[in-house]
Amino acid sequence: MSVIERFRDPALARRILTEIRTLADRPMAFMEFCGGHTHAIMQFGIRQLMPTTVRLLSGPGCPVCVTSQAEIDQAIALSQLPGVILTTFGDMVRVPGTQFTLQEAAANGADVRIVYSPMDAMRLAQAHPDKEVVFLGVGFETTAPGVAASILQAQALGVNNYSIFSIHKLTPPAMRAILDMGEVRLHGVIGPGHVSTIIGSHAWRFLPQEYGIPVVISGFEPVDILVAIRELVAMVVHNEAAVINAYGRAVSPRGNERAQELMYRVFEVAEADWRGFGLLPGSGLAIRAAYGDFDAKRRFTLPAIPSREPPGCRCGEVLRGIIEPPQCPLFDRACTPANPRGPCMVSDEGACAAYFLYRSVEQTA
């Protein structure tokens, strides 16, 4: 078995599960911050395997899901400007704006193209000097450094028709907001793996130090997630709070400092509008004035758009861990992956989509 495959070893996973069941002697709730973890937990059936004492709550770590309605509407409006090619990651095209989705805007004539990388968008700008190529900058700290690199590369190559509509957001402020709002009682956090590859495991020290809550940085294979849960259970039972990096093969204490440097060279910290949280200070990334030419917010004037969240949609509460998706009255009725009402059902990392796709047998009755 290759090294990576050993993190999928069912026998090892089952042994760790047994330890969790033995150790978890009192009710405890852990939040898996990251949408990728929610997806993996549902896909592997880990929720069903937990003892009744351990509750797993999904958090706001889905960049598509925490995009505000206004941000989506503005992105759609951008795509409809003449001469603009709007480039975006795939998940964003099906998120419902107040009137329609990016995909529908494309069907009505907007030039919307799905790209795998911001560098692809930059190269598209090079290939179409007569067009304005705008990249929809969605994503957390995992994604923003690459977007920054694409801006620096565009600058180096003299590409002057490339800009970013930045709605990038930072993860620690959202984690703080959840705890500060005090709506959910958390005993521990399963920390995001790939965000931490960039920002480092030390970025999460505020959780034990300021909130007294243990955090385990976890990878995405079954063994990774179960180890993280086991370590959290052990810390809770022993009344300890610390940062444990259980994803040592991909995360270091200080993270990828080069990526951080590029990110903060091009972006500065700013207020951002989060679905489910509203305006959070110091939680987003705006393009610095020095790179203003690459800032779509400066390049284009967008009309004020009266944004309205989809009626009845409870994405916000799902993102704050207050309710689980099946508790939303729209779940599996008006809102399904084929006909999503809100972004949590569109993105595979959205809790609602993960619950819908991978629910347990009992929940289908």
Partner 1 sequence: MCLAVPAQITRIDGLEAEVDFGGVRRSISLHLLPDAQIGDYVLVHTGFAIGIVDEEEALKTLDLLAQMERMGAQDDERD
Partner 2 sequence: MRHDERVTLAHGSGGRTTRELIERVFAPYFKNPVLARMNDAAILAAETGGRLAFSIDGHVVSPLFFPGGTIGDVAVNGTVNDLAMMGARPLWLAASFILEEGLLLSDLERIVRSMANAARAAGVLLVAGDTKVVERGKGDGVYISVAGVGLIPPHLDIDAGNIRPGDVILINAPIAAHGMAIMVQREGLAFEGELESDTAPLHGIVQQLLEAAPRTRAMRDATRGGLATALNELALASHVGMVVEEEAVPVNDAARNACALLGLDPWHVANEGVFVAVVPPDEADTALKALRSHPLGRHAQRIGVATAAHPTHVVLRTTLGAERILTPLSGDLLPRIC
Is the CB of 43 or the CB of 117 nearer to partner 1?
Answer: 117
Q: By CB under 8 A, name the one of 51, 80, 100, 146 that touches partner 1.
A: 146
Residue 291 DSSP code: G
Q: By CB under 8 A, name the one of 79, 88, 197, 283 that touches partner 1.
A: 197
Region near partner 2 per CB under 8 A, out of 67-75, 84-92, 173-181, 310-318:
84-92
Q: Which does residue 197 touch among partner 2, partner 1, none (CB within 5 to 8 A, set by kind)?
A: partner 1
Closest CA relative to residue 352, chosen from 293, 298, 312: 312
Region near partner 1 per CB under 8 A, out of 27-35, 176-184, 271-279, 296-304:
27-35
Q: By CB under 8 A, name the one of 246, 280, 296, 344 that touches partner 1.
A: 246
Residue 304 DSSP code: -
Evaluated on CA atoms 212, 216, 217, 220, the torsion sign reads negative
What lies within 8 Å, CB to CB, of 183 at 6+ separation is: 320, 321, 322
Region near partner 1 per CB under 8 A, out of 42-50, 98-106, 110-118, 271-279:
110-118
Q: Which does residue 285 touch among partner 1, partner 2, none (CB within 5 to 8 A, set by kind)?
A: none
Per CB under 8 A, 292 contacts partner 2: no
Q: How far apart are CA 330 and CA 69, in angstroms?
A: 18
Residue 237 parent element (H or E): helix 222-237
Q: How far is CA 324 from the centre of its chain?
A: 17
Q: Could you tell me the smallest distance in angstroms from the CB atom of residue 248 to partner 1?
A: 4
Residue 58 DSSP code: E
Region near partner 2 per CB under 8 A, out of 235-243, 294-302, 314-322, 331-339:
331-339
x/- string (CB under 8 A) for partner 1, residues 334-353?
---------------x----
Q: How far apart are CA 349 and CA 34, in angstroms?
A: 8
Dihedral, CA atoms, 327, 321, 319, 241, nearest 10 degrees?
-160
Q: Which does residue 90 touch among partner 1, partner 2, none (CB within 5 to 8 A, set by kind)?
A: partner 2
Q: By CB under 8 A, name the one of 184, 250, 302, 334 that touches partner 1.
A: 250
Per CB under 8 A, 113 contacts partner 2: no
What does the DSSP assignment read for 106-166?
HHTT-EEEE-SSHHHHHHHHHH-TTSEEEEEE---TTTHHHHHHHHHHHHHHT--SEEEEE
Region near partner 2 per CB under 8 A, out of 124-132, 198-206, 283-291, 341-349:
341-349
Distances in Å between the Cα of 12 and the Cα atoms of 5, 50, 160, 225 are 11, 16, 53, 12
Residues that bind partner 2 (CB under 8 A): 8, 10, 13-14, 17, 42-49, 63-64, 89-91, 93-94, 114, 116, 138-139, 143, 222, 336-338, 347-349, 356-361, 363-365
